[in-house]
Structures are given as C-alpha cells and as structure tokens.
Amino acid sequence: MAMNRQHTIAQTASLSGVGVHSGKPAWLTIRSAAEGAGVCFVRADVTDRDATIPALATKVTTTGLGTNLSNSAGVSVATVEHFLAACSGLGVDNVIVELDGPELPILDGSSRPFVELLTQAGLKEQGAPRRVLKIVKPMEVRHGQKLARLSPAHGFEMRVTIDFPTRAIGRQTIRFVMTPGAFAREVAWARTFGFLHQAEQLHAMGKGLGASMDNTIVVEGDSVLNPDGLQADDEFVRHKLLDVIGDLFLAGGQIEGLYEGEQPGHALNNQLIRAVFADETSFAWA
C-alpha cells in the first residue's frame, strides 16, 4: 500500500473491557470512514444531542490522568490516547470509533489490543493523499522542569526522557523513529503505570476504579509489585512515548518533525500542538 495515501479500515471490528477510571464495562466498535473524515468518536449511548467528537487538539478539555475530549454539546470521551497512538503507529487516518459510554476500555494498559483490533479489521487504501503536518520552525512549551518541543526534521522522530525519584524507574530516555512496523514492535506493548500510595486518593476522586495489576504497572517505593515484573527495563519511558504519539495525533494528521520531551504529559503535549497552530509560520500542511 502507498503510505502517502489516506487509509481507513476494511471491515468493522469490536472489543470490550473496563474503563480504568470508572471501572464500568466499555464496548468499542470501529467502522470505516470517508476520506478526510479523520478519527471521530461517537457516543452510541447519547441520543438527545450531537454525540460525535472529532479527535482534534481543540476538543481536548481535560488532561488529568488521560487525554479527554468534549464537543460543543458537552458530550465527552475519556482516555483516548492509547487508541490514537495505535492509529498513528499503523497509519490509520480515517475511522469511526463507536462507544457505549464515556470512556475507552483500558484493556491491558497498552496500545497492543488496539493494534490487534485494527489489524483484524484490515487497512484499506483510499484515493486522497495523506495530510501531514510539516513543522517548519521550532516551537516549544515549558512548565517548570517539563519541556515539549517540535522542530523541523525529515520523517517523524521522538526523543523522550522521564525522571522519577524511585529506583524502580529513575531516569530513562528513548529515541524512536516512526517507520512501518516500528510502533507495534517497539512501543505498542508498553503498559501504563501508577503508584500504590496514590490509589486511595484516586479512589476518593472516583478515579482509578478499574485499575489493577492486569492493566497497570504498580510501583511502591523502589519496587514493581506486579508478579510478572516488567516486559522491558525501560517499559516506563516506552509508555510515555506511546502517550506522546497518541497526543500528537490530535494534530489532525501525521507529523513530519522531531519531538523532544522532558517529563512530558498530556497537558504539555496539548499545549504544544495548540502553540504550533497559533503560529501559522511554524507549520505547513503537506
């Protein structure tokens, strides 16, 4: 398939799980979409108002514990980044994502189940050229020690660093270039992580009710509590990279540029995309 063409999926496919924050069952069905449609979430349980939410940075309303979107009718969808990372990594431009509730299922805490779902559905080439956001001058946002930057480059390259005051994580850095097959092989399987001492606080906020060692790497002190341990010593930074890929896909297309992140998070990534679009001299659609 010509990867400079837009792609959708060849057939409908579904999966189910629980929402990591609500703890409630969540069904997700993907359907093909027309050229130029992008990724659109549709809340099938909402019938009294507009239930379609485009996957765009301008629709991001909250970024605490995940990237969450809302439309002008107040309909929302939460924790979209793992699915969007799979779309970016596999080159899926246009797809309808139908949900029966306000949150995507967390599954195993990575993008791998979504990669498998999209692969099962099959990719279908479309006639229109792919939209690529070409970065033509550096743009960055900072918040204390946190940094996110996009600079001109050939292709799509990312360099991400995290630093946590626990020997279970410490300082980790990864460099990644988006090439065919690389996302599924090197990134998709990296699971989300959290800290045991924060669990009670999250539960009191009505968050993290679906989190478990089946879908989260749990850290306490200097130890990983999951009986099977890590899939790789740097699984933590690989998951941060996964989140970056999902968040940046909210630009509305693939990116041609170099992303550099120091302690990045969902809020900083969204601020970076908005900063790019606020300066028309920083980008061009190719």
Whether 237 and 166 map to the same domain: the answer is: yes
pLDDT at 200: 84
Where is the domain boundary, 78, 100, 129? Answer: 129
Whether 112 and 203 map to the same domain: the answer is: no
Is the confidence at residue 109, as pLDDT, over 70? Answer: yes
Whether 156 and 45 map to the same domain: the answer is: no
Whether 137 and 271 map to the same domain: the answer is: yes
DSSP 160-177: EEEEESSTTTEEEEEEEE
Mean pLDDT of the chain, nearest integer: 96
**What is the C-alpha separation between 118 and 101, in angstroms, rounded?**
20
CB 245 within 8 A of CB 183: yes
Whether 102 and 180 map to the same domain: the answer is: no
Where is the domain boundary, 68, 97, 129? Answer: 129
Whether 199 and 247 map to the same domain: the answer is: yes
pLDDT classification of 16: cutoffs 50, 70, 90: very high
Whether 223 and 171 map to the same domain: the answer is: yes
pLDDT at 1: 40
Whether 214 and 161 map to the same domain: the answer is: yes
Catalytic status, residue 203: no
Is the confidence at residue 248, as pLDDT, over 70? Answer: yes
Beta carbons within 8 Å of 200's beta carbon, 6+ residues apart: none
CB 78 within 8 A of CB 41: no
Whether 78 and 187 map to the same domain: the answer is: no
Is the confidence at residue 161, as pLDDT, over 60? Answer: yes
Residue ranges making up the domain that contains 196: 132-285
Task: Specify burial of residue 57 (Cβ count, 10 A radius: 0-12, 13-18, 19+).
Answer: buried
Return the percentage of the chain with pLDDT > 70, whole number.
99
Where is the domain boundary, 89, 105, 129? Answer: 129
Beta carbons within 8 Å of 171's beta carbon, 6+ residues apart: 161, 162, 163
Beta carbons within 8 Å of 223's beta carbon, 6+ residues apart: 168
Q: What is the mean predicted confidence (pLDDT) over 241-248?
A: 98
CATH of residue 43's domain is 3.30.230.20
> What total number of domains does the chain contain?
2
Which is nearest to 25 in space by CA: 117, 112, 106?
106
Whether 88 and 53 map to the same domain: the answer is: yes
pLDDT classification of 3: cutoffs 50, 70, 90: low
Whether 186 and 252 map to the same domain: the answer is: yes
User: What is the distance of C-alpha 169 from the center of its chain?
Assistant: 21
Is the confidence at residue 213, as pLDDT, over 60? Answer: yes
Q: What is the mean predicted confidence (pLDDT) over 120-149?
A: 97
Active-site pick, 7, 21, 239, 266: 266
Q: What is the mean predicted confidence (pLDDT) over 24-50?
A: 97
pLDDT classification of 150: cutoffs 50, 70, 90: very high
pLDDT at 102: 96
pLDDT at 84: 98
HSE toward the beta carbon, residue 211, CA cutoff 13 A: 23
CB 257 within 8 A of CB 245: no
- Phi and psi at 109, nearest 5°, equal 90, 5
Which is nearest to 173 in space by CA: 253, 263, 275?
263
Is the confidence at residue 178, as pLDDT, over 60? Answer: yes
Distances (CA, A) of 191 to 32, 176, 272: 27, 17, 24
At 45, list the tokens. Answer: 């349980």
At 162, list the tokens. Answer: 């995290």
Whether 98 and 154 map to the same domain: the answer is: no
